[in-house]
Structure 1
Amino acid sequence: MKKRVLASFLTAMMVMGMVGCGSADESQGDAKADGEKGGYKIGLTNSFNGNSYRQQMEAYAQEAADELTETGEISEFVIVEANNDASKQVQQIENFILEGMDAIIIDPISATALTGAIQEASDAGIPCIIINDGPVESEAELCYQINFDTIDQMSTLTEYVCEAIGGKGKIIELRGTAGAEFDNIAHEGVLKALENYPDIEIVAEVYTDWTGSKAQSELASVLPTLDDVAGVVTQGGDSYAAVQAFEAAGMELPVIGGDNRGYFLKWWANEAPDGYDTISVSSNPWDGATGVYVACDILSGEYEVPNEMVHPFAVVTKDEVENYKDMGDEEIGTPTYDREWVRENLYK
């Protein structure tokens, strides 16, 4: 409690100090007191890093930070993890404010739990860049959101599965973490697609935290109660676990929407029944690097960075899966880009 009171007091003092020297927007790009650009201190708070997607996202962010450290744009880059604890992530943002970070990258645990902390950072002149699991609810001037079109992503996957099973039958929906905004929006995308398929029924919704171990154990408990499952829609980190669960249960393999993880893509390319028909779709963990590039461009003041940006998701079809037959188990099949791509495609 004392830490939160101290954080609020110091933040208020920083805001008061800004009144005489211009607005938060005017301070954007002038993080250094002497007016020099570069040498930025950037913190990344990840709500959870217990699956391969988040770990790869962090790795891409670190690669971009290392690149910009070599050029002198970044002097310090810190990654912390909140373990799905909203209060902990709020505290991490407040700590970054106290530590004088120039920008904060946030993979949010919730659409609403971080609103106050993001506003505190913005009031202190610190841009917050939201990646991966947004959007968040925030009117903060210095809140920048890099989101996937999750509804389109999940509609694309769901529609393919529905067509592959002939437009009727029973499906299972594997979800992520209960309460996470990405999961809420992903579910909305599934339901949107199902509006066109009245003869398809979701017979089970299973929360997996986007991890294979939990998906397999949860499915092991629910599959004995079901029959004639024709399809499975997944969000990520759990597609191959679904394959294993059905095989372990001795049930006929349904059409399982893929998640671009190496486990699933390698199985599809090398072991799946001949002609196995599905599609694999995922968010793109390269948005970790995108967040780093965007943070530095905001701080430089040289680019007109919009407050809302849309990052493309990744799709692998049956005609492309052979390209991934030798990838690592924990890798995610996804396109990567570069800094110029970010500027040309996201700053619109």
Structure 2
Amino acid sequence: WRFMQAAETKMVLDALVSIGWVTEWKILDAGGDVLEQKRNIEQLEEWGMDALIIDPVSPDALIGDIERVTSEGIFTAICIEAPIPEPYGTLKNFGTIFSTNYFKSGYVQGKFVAEKLIEKYPPEQRKVAVIRGIAGAPSNIQRWEGAKYAIDQYADNGVEIVAAVDSGWSPSKARDDAADIIAAHPDVRGWVTQGAMMMSAIPLAIVGAGEDPGEHVMTGEDFVFNLKLQREHGFEMMMCANPQSQQALIVWRVVQALSGIP
């Protein structure tokens, strides 16, 4: 996902350079290190950037950096792991935020799983497992809160979350975690996964446990392999889009802002 996101962003930036709308650009990767990302921001300030697009490793830890850069007259655009602005959060001074509504993504997935379980199974089989992403990542937290909020609405119908793990957006870890959940909670029939290719790990883990994926309900992000598995096993499924083009689109928003285009 990140590789394709970067590729699309570079393609858009190169196109803007070719028509003279951007003179020069740089992409720095902090590798998940907050201190390295802070150093990256300082390097780009010294370089003389006019705008900063940032996908914060830790939004709260970088609020001071974002607000400092903004106060220097540099247009700041925040995407993906965006901090929450006032009045609900603490971010005060920034240019723009362009991000998926991860709470809603989690909510619609949780709602789908809950309603399908009620439709298909008696109360004792309306158990749900949630395969989350990276612990502490805002998108992970928001998706989890959305899914939990939705599923809790159906508690009177016997729908409940019996297991939730952080699998780091790793399909291999998600498969191992799903296998452990199946062993500990054989009554689980509903699965909410929070992105990347983790959903594809669920039917594989179910098959590995000697069960039929067709008896399960699952959700995740859009990924072609999920369609192949669904056709093969016939399970109930919903996929949500989390477009890799978010960063490329925010490049255009930045160009608009720098050019005085509303």
TM-score range, shorter chain: 0.7 to 0.9
Taking the aligned partners of 2:211 and 2:33, their CA distance within structure 1 comes to: 37
Taking the aligned partners of 1:104 and 1:110, their CA distance within structure 2 comes to: 16
Alignment correspondent of 2:26: 78
- 1:263 aligned to 188, 202, 225, which one? 225
Does 2:242 correspond to 1:294?
A: no
Question: AA paired with 2:111?
Answer: E
The TM-score with structure 2 as length reference comes to: 0.88
- 2:129 aligned to 145, 166, 172, which one? 172
Question: AA paired with 1:208?
Answer: S
- Shift, 1:182, TM fit: 0.9
- Shift, 1:255, TM fit: 0.8
Taking the aligned partners of 2:128 and 2:202, their CA distance within structure 1 comes to: 12
Taking the aligned partners of 2:105 and 2:54, their CA distance within structure 1 comes to: 21
- Shift, 1:112, TM fit: 0.4
- 1:272 aligned to 233, 239, 249, which one? 233
Taking the aligned partners of 2:28 and 2:203, their CA distance within structure 1 comes to: 33
Question: AA paired with 1:160?
Answer: F
Taking the aligned partners of 1:246 and 1:88, their CA distance within structure 2 comes to: 40
- 1:128-184 per-residue CA deviation (whole Å, 9 max, x = no partner) reads 1111222344211x3311122222221111111111111641111111111111111
- Shift, 1:246, TM fit: 1.6
- Shift, 1:85, TM fit: 1.8
- Shift, 1:114, TM fit: 0.7
Alignment correspondent of 1:182: 139
The TM-score with structure 1 as length reference comes to: 0.67
Taking the aligned partners of 1:185 and 1:219, their CA distance within structure 2 comes to: 21
Alignment correspondent of 1:212: 171
Does 2:6 correspond to 1:58?
A: yes
Q: Secondary structure at the match of 2:26?
A: strand
Does 2:113 correspond to 1:161?
A: yes
Taking the aligned partners of 1:243 and 1:83, their CA distance within structure 2 comes to: 31
Does 2:63 correspond to 1:101?
A: no
Does 2:100 correspond to 1:148?
A: yes
- Shift, 1:76, TM fit: 2.1
Taking the aligned partners of 2:228 and 2:22, their CA distance within structure 1 comes to: 37
- Shift, 1:207, TM fit: 0.8
- 1:294-332 per-residue CA deviation (whole Å, 9 max, x = no partner) reads 1111111232xxxxxxxxxxxxxxxxxxxxxxxxxxxxx
Aligned length: 247
Taking the aligned partners of 2:210 and 2:25, their CA distance within structure 1 comes to: 48
- 1:40-90 per-residue CA deviation (whole Å, 9 max, x = no partner) reads xxxxxxxxxxxxx22222122112112211111112222222222222222
- Shift, 1:93, TM fit: 1.7
Alignment correspondent of 2:38: 90
Contact 1:239 1:257 in 2 (8 A): yes
Q: Secondary structure at the match of 2:20?
A: coil
Please list every run of at least 4 consecutive aligned residues from structure 1 whose deviation after the TM superposition is greater than 3 angstroms.
Answer: none
- Shift, 1:232, TM fit: 0.4
Unpaired stretches in structure 1, ≥5 consecutive residues: 1-52, 304-348
Unpaired stretches in structure 2, ≥5 consecutive residues: 85-89
Alignment correspondent of 1:226: 185
Alignment correspondent of 1:245: 205
Q: Report sequence identity in percent.
A: 29
Taking the aligned partners of 2:178 and 2:28, their CA distance within structure 1 comes to: 31
CA RMSD in angstroms, aligned pairs only: 1.7
Contact 2:203 2:229 in 1 (8 A): no
